[in-house]
């Protein structure tokens, strides 16, 4: 049995659906959510849904009974509480007799990272490796999907404004992360492996702007801006100061090439080339 934690989220649901498409029988798939009534679509498909809250260790022990492979998709909590959540899940998995944990991590510069969320991922990777269970770690690049949400604003502004000069990113579509995560979960030969889930190419910001322009049908050039200008843009879009600090740190990490590595792992796992930024944007906007 394969258990997907946070199965109601974007990547979680995509992973459950990919497991079914990849031939895992639905009764062998279990989704976990704080409120399992959000997972009725799984029951309708013949899969299982159980209550599982990262902050309820005894509840997770019950939820993980009979599970062979546990896929841990992290939440959006701040780094410190997220570390507690991850350790709770590992403790529960150990107690329930889970054999293997697949952890969805992120690329970045490890302990030297400039991204404020990275300390969680460093802790969680280390705790997973020391858990005593078999493990596989999948490090994703930055999602391409938010660029599709941002497209109307980018067209209005007439530029792609980031506080970046030379940084490159191998943006990856959430759908490709889900497909690769599902393949990782049902393969039995990936114990102790660290994978990189990335898009097809590492692109500079002017190249990212060219991809966005292709999807938009108009030219949207890249504009390298200061942290202050970026903060003003985020503020105008309703972001609070904590979010702005976090996002600015993310682009400092981009400038340090922390998300620049492109690999063929997604294609090797799924048999399909991952989407380019323009392909992902066009699909996401078509499917709305």
Residues 257-276 that bind ligand NAP (CB under 6 A): none
Strands 203-204, 168-169: pairing kind: antiparallel
Smallest distance from ligand NAP to CB 124, Å: 10
Nearer to ligand NAP, 221 or 252 (CB): 252
Residues 218-247 that bind ligand NAP (CB under 6 A): none
Q: How many chain residues are in contact with ligand NAP, going by CB under 6 A?
A: 22
Residues 112-141 that bind ligand NAP (CB under 6 A): 140
Smallest distance from ligand NAP to CB 141, Å: 7
Q: Is 6 in the site for ligand NAP (CB under 6 A)?
A: yes
Alpha carbon dihedral 127, 167, 224, 242, in 10-degree steps, equals 0
The residue whose Cβ lies closest to ligand NAP is: 9
Of the candidate residues 2, 3, 4, 11, the single one contacting ligand NAP (CB under 6 A): 11
Helix, strand, coil shares of the chain as percentages rounded to 5?
50, 15, 35
Nearer to ligand NAP, 143 or 222 (CB): 143
**Dihedral sign, CA of 92, 96, 101, 104?**
negative
Residues 57-86 that bind ligand NAP (CB under 6 A): 73-76
Count the neighbouring beta carbons within 10 Å of the beta carbon of residue 161.
21
Query: What is the rounded distance in angstroms from the CA atom of residue 252 to the CA atom of residue 142?
Result: 14
Query: Does an H or E element contain 20, and which?
Result: helix 10-21
Strands 134-140, 194-197: pairing kind: parallel
**What residue ranges bind ligand NAP (CB under 6 A)?**
6, 8-12, 33-35, 38, 53-55, 73-76, 106, 140, 142-143, 174
């Amino acid at each position: 049995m394969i258990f997907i934690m946070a199965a109601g989220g974007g990547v979680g649901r995509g992973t459950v659906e990919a497991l079914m498409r990849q031939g895992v029988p639905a009764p062998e798939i279990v989704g976990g959510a704080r409120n399992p009534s959000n997972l009725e679509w799984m029951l309708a498909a013949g899969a299982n849904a159980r209550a599982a809250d990262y902050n309820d260790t005894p509840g997770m022990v019950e939820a993980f009974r009979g599970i062979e492979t546990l896929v841990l998709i992290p939440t959006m909590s701040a780094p410190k509480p997220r570390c507690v959540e991850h350790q709770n899940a590992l403790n529960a998995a150990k107690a329930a007799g889970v054999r293997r944990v697949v952890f969805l991590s992120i690329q970045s510069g490890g302990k030297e990272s400039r991204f404020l969320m990275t300390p969680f991922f460093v802790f969680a990777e280390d705790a997973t490796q020391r858990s005593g269970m078999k493990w596989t770690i999948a490090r994703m690049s930055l999602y391409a999907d938010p660029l599709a949400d941002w497209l109307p604003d980018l067209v209005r502004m007439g530029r792609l404004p980031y506080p970046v000069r030379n940084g490159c990113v191998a943006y990856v579509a959430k759908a490709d992360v889900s497909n690769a995560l599902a393949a990782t979960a049902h393969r039995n030969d990936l114990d102790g492996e660290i994978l990189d889930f990335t898009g097809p190419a590492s692109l500079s910001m002017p190249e990212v702007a060219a991809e966005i322009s292709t999807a938009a049908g108009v030219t949207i050039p890249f504009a390298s801006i200061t942290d202050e200008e970026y903060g003003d843009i985020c503020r105008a879009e309703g972001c609070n100061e904590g979010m702005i600090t976090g996002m600015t740190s993310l682009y400092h990490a981009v400038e340090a090439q922390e998300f620049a590595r492109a690999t063929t792992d997604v294609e090797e796992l799924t048999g399909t080339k991952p989407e380019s930024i323009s392909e992902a944007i066009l699909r996401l906007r078509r499917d709305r």
